[in-house]
Structures are given as C-alpha cells and as structure tokens.
Structure 1
Amino acid sequence: MKKYFILYKPFLLFLGKFLLTYLLLTFIYQSYLGQFDVNKNETDSFTELVAKQTKELMLLFDCDVKTKPSTREPAVNLYYNQKPMARIIEGCNAMSVIILFVAFIVAFSGKPKPTALYIISGSLIIHILNVTRIALLCVLMYYYPKQQHFLHGVVFPLFIYGVVFILWILWVNKFSKYATKNNKA
C-alpha cells in the first residue's frame, strides 16, 4: 500500500487539494446563497451585478436594453428592443465556473503571490467573458430565435469552458510548480 501511495503521491496530492478547495469554496458560496430567500424570489447580489453589468455593456453599444427583477423566480429579466430575451438566474453568474477554475489552480499551485494573482486575473477574465457572453447571447437570440438552443446550450458553454481550459493550460505550463521543474530540466 505504501508503495502505491509513493508512486501516486503527486496525483493524490493534486486530487486532495482540488477536492478540498472545491468543497470549501462551494460551501462558502452555498452559505452566501443561503442568505437569500428563494421563496420570496430574492436574487443574490452577484447575479444582480452580472445582470447590471450586462445591461451597462449593451448600453455602451447603444442597445435598447433594460433589466427588471422577476416576480416569478429569483432572477433578473433582461429586455432587448422591448422584448424579454433572457432571465439571468444564479446559474448564469459563472460563479461555479470560477470555483472550478480556482480549485484547479490551487491544486497545481506555484508560489503564493503568482498563484493569487493568477486566480484574481483569471477570475476577472471569466467574469468579463461571462458578461459579454450574456450580452451577445441576447442580441443573437433576438435576431436568430430558432438558434436559441444551439447558442445557449452549445456555442457559449464551449466558449467559456474553452477559455477556462486555456487558462488552466497556461497555468500548468508557465506558472505552476510543475512548469518550474520542467523549465529547469
């Protein structure tokens, strides 16, 4: 048994750090969400921020856009050209994607300062791309309503997860302890 632990130690350490970080951040996030009463259709502040920033981004491009809290569910409705185009719910705020990103970076952590800076900058990139994703999705669904499933269910998830994957690859190859060992060899 000890032989296998030694043999698989790097993988087991990665897995342990990843799971611990993921579970801890998920617990913190779920505790945060617990402050909001779903039965009263209260939307969490981060989702409201994403909706507000999406609206502001679209206004930069002179779009006819407005947001309004939903009366039926914890969501913010986004209207484009007077037409309801999106309901921004907790799942749209990309926090779960950011938690996954952070857990991976921590699991492959390098020196504390570069790790913290990469986590912050990567999280901001994901957030900005998510706001942009929602804005583009609203405009594209307005002009191509028959493509809603393809755009929402295929194109944009591939885009956001593709960017996260690229950020992970950059981290592992350029900044993690693993990259440092390989660059010295």
Structure 2
Amino acid sequence: MSSVADPEAIINAFVKTIRPAFISTVVHAAFSASLFALFVVLLALSTKESRCCVVFPLNVFAICIVLKMGVLLGFSEGKVAVGRPYWLSPNIPLAGLAFTLFPPLLCDSILLIRLFALYPLSSTRPATLLKIFAFPFCIKCARVVILTLFFNKYVGSATTAEGLAQSEDSTWFCNPYMVAEWTMQIVDTSGK
C-alpha cells in the first residue's frame, strides 16, 4: 500500500470544496458588471432636470451600495475559491452580508419615495396619504426588524471566516427569518 493518495480524488475533493465559492464569485462579477453598465447609462441619459429630482441621487446611492456589495462578496468568495479564507478578517464577510441584506430594503424604499411624485404632500389630504403609505411603512419596519434579528443571529453563530461560510450554507435558505423577509419583500414590491 502506498501512502500517497489518489491524485484524482484530491482534485475532485478540491473542486467540490471551492465550487460554491467559485460559482458565487462568477455570479457576483456578472451582476456587478451589468449594474455598472446601468450606472453609466443612468448618468449618460439623465438630464439636468432629472438630476434635480430627489429620486436621482437616491438611485445613484443605491447603485453604489450594491456595487460595493458585489466587490465585497466577490473578494470574500474569491478568497475562499483560492483556498485562503483564513486571510480574511471576519469583518469582511460580515460587511458583505450586511451589504447583501439591506440594499433590497433601500431600493424598495426608493420605489416608495417615487409615490410622492404621484401624491404630493402639498395637494394630497392627510387621510389619503395615510391610506397609501401606512401599509408599506409598516412592512418596511417589520423587514428591518427581521433583517436585524437574522444578522444578529448570524454574527452570534459565526466567529471565523470558515464558520461564516459553513453557517451561511446551512441556514441561509432554511432560516425562518429569511423566509419571512422574502415573503414581506414580495408583499412590499407587489403593493406598488
């Protein structure tokens, strides 16, 4: 018996280990590139009047936040793909998670702000404004609470970069907080 392991088994185990991180890195790079193209088009096709609207800087801010999320997640998943997750500070994956969880809420809030163009505060009765904005505001508050609870639980359960990767794989799609968040996000965006 030889003490040398089968090279094919070693390669297969390595590929199985890095495959999720590699796929995630490629997906984040593709979406970040398309978002960067959207950012360039937004700036190129905007007029002076449209840049003065409140929604324009909010859209630019949301795109910048999501681009930062793509860079953070690409960086942390790229480190895992090359087999060096211990080079990461535990704060980098946590920052990536925060930038993953909260930008959808920001983008949905920007969509809600656009309703003020249809129902200006100066010409709409307070009762009408209350009917229009009460439900979305309550849903957004509930989403913030759910996301904060999930983030606190995630931070409490993971202490290292390797622990973060393991806990993300095991709890992300089965976590009741995330299922509740996704359900509320569907309700929130379908109401507009």
Q: TM-score range by the shorter chain?
A: 0.3 to 0.5
Q: TM-score, normalised by structure 1?
A: 0.37
The structure with more strand, counted as a fraction of residues: 1
Higher Rg of the two aligned structures: 2
Bigger fraction of residues in helix: 2
